[in-house]
Chains A and B, each alone.
Chain A
């Protein structure tokens, strides 16, 4: 598909598992280990989709979404892959229509399906 996915998580096993799964499905994967790095890569590399943890050192996943939204003209479809999904209030998410939540532990297969679905509904790659 030639789509580019940015994966941001401070836990190595998450980025490793997610990157493998998406790469095997033919997607290009960028990895960031914190919010700041994810922000810089998002602005510089314009991924088609963002998968981010909520709790990361320095910048939370939602702060990251807010900063990207402020910087880029178009929202990046985002999957919030988090252990805090059951505590997130709908009100917290209301500001981020492009964000869907997936709770840990997750099925890598299901994540890939969600990624492909999100990419398909977002249309062809911008590049």
Chain B
């Protein structure tokens, strides 16, 4: 809405384009529009100027009289009848329409007056209609903007996934906010949890170098102490402190993004030509910030919990490894190998992490196996073999009831199956045992062959690979073997030698 007029009168209604021309064509009556003070409000159609001998002064006087009396005026002037009709909006005269018809007799005079009355009604109706149309347009525009804002907030809910990196989320938020508010640039400032450095996400054309953003945000956040927690400044250039950052910075909205204890980021919009920022913008940005901050916080908590679980699982796995000094770090090495094979098979990161966990936990059932058997040098007796072969089932039982590890339990139970069905405990063949179990089976055998065992010294890598090749299709799944052979095994082995326990190998 225009804010320029200083008059207390409501803005004059728009005269529909070509209304005068239309009236002239249909009725032969020349219509013109004036402001209530007698000044022409709209250009008269060209052919109206030549309408007759009525002087401009006489018309202007009639207009003023009609406006003052707030009533229609019809007057006979030599050879014509001239009418002036005030057109009102909200009870006040905002426009006066005039019309004239040439007459040559008293009878014609009466007809002319009737014709003018009809034309007056039609003109008023058309202007009222145009007024309503303009109102409808403004309501539609407001509604459109509301819909945009609502759908931004709805969509925000959809993109808040804990598996999505915080930066990717903020990129989405910034782009959407820029589109919706019409700002030239939007920005998210994300300080690191440990206070070292910060990440900045920008959409659009910043009015200042991106490298200055941290200082600007810090400056603005310091001044932001009011309860609303929102900063709206449409006159940045009048603030010398802000002027030091950029003379191009004219308008801004900034809301804090409370991320971690002590650390506070910010979400901001910069510059909008033609329209000041207001509370609708500020509230939208604040809502986006609140949702994003809660998400980022939850995401951090989620990853903390995930890390905790992983650490617990690792502790559990190393408690098994600890029973037998020869198998020190075995679970971790199998875990890393499983993850590498899964990635090579293109199973996706989620399955690769499952494979890592399965590798960590595959021997958890050995926790119940007597150390005398585990550490025995030389061949096992048949009854000892029976006991040790129970460890996959015992492991499955230990993990039973941990819903989060459902997918992993199958791998633990079946990691000693063979694809030819000759393994244990169930004698499952390749298509019956879970893929994860087949992966663990190979990784387990590989580590057993490459590390020292009480009953055998380390085999050279070439021999190990030959052995795996020999057992492809009988003991090992051919596809898993193929993926395994594609791995950079030298790198893997080096990694294991450098970090024997492999405990510090991170999940990522």
Contacts and interface: CB of A to CB of B under 8 A. Distances in A.
Given A12-B138, A13-B138, A56-B3, 17 more contacts: A11-B1, A11-B138, A13-B143, A33-B10, A33-B90, A36-B8, A57-B2, A57-B5, A58-B8, A83-B279, A83-B280, A84-B232, A86-B231, A86-B279, A86-B282, A87-B232, A103-B282
A86 B232 contact: yes
B278 interface: yes
Contacts of A103: 279, 282-283
A37 B1 contact: no
B234 A87 contact: yes
B149 interface: yes
B181 to A, nearest CB: 13
B155 interface: no
Given A10-B1, A13-B138, A105 B7 contact: no
The 4 closest A-B pairs by CB, nearest first: A83-B278, A36-B8, A103-B279, A13-B142
Interface of B: 1-11, 90, 92, 135, 138-139, 142-143, 146, 149, 228, 230-234, 278-280, 282-283
Given A11-B138, A36-B8, A85 B279 contact: yes
Interface string A1-35: 00000000011110010000000000000001111
B8 A82 contact: no
A104 interface: yes
B278 A104 contact: yes
Interface residues of A, number: 25
A115 to B, nearest CB: 19
Contact of A105 (B135, B231, B280): B280
A58 B4 CA distance: 8
B298 to A, nearest CB: 27
A35 B7 CA distance: 11
B254 to A, nearest CB: 11
A15 to B, nearest CB: 10
Contact of A59 (B4, B8, B231, B233): B8
A58 B146 contact: no
10 contacts: A12-B135, A13-B138, A13-B142, A33-B90, A55-B3, A57-B2, A84-B279, A86-B230, A86-B279, A87-B233
Interface in A41-98: 55-59, 82-87
Contact of B279 (A33, A37, A58, A82): A82
B11 to A, nearest CB: 7
A58 B139 contact: no
A101 to B, nearest CB: 10
Contacts of B143: 13
Given A58-B8, A84-B279, A105-B280, A13 B2 contact: no
A75 B253 CA distance: 34
B24 to A, nearest CB: 32
B8 A34 contact: yes
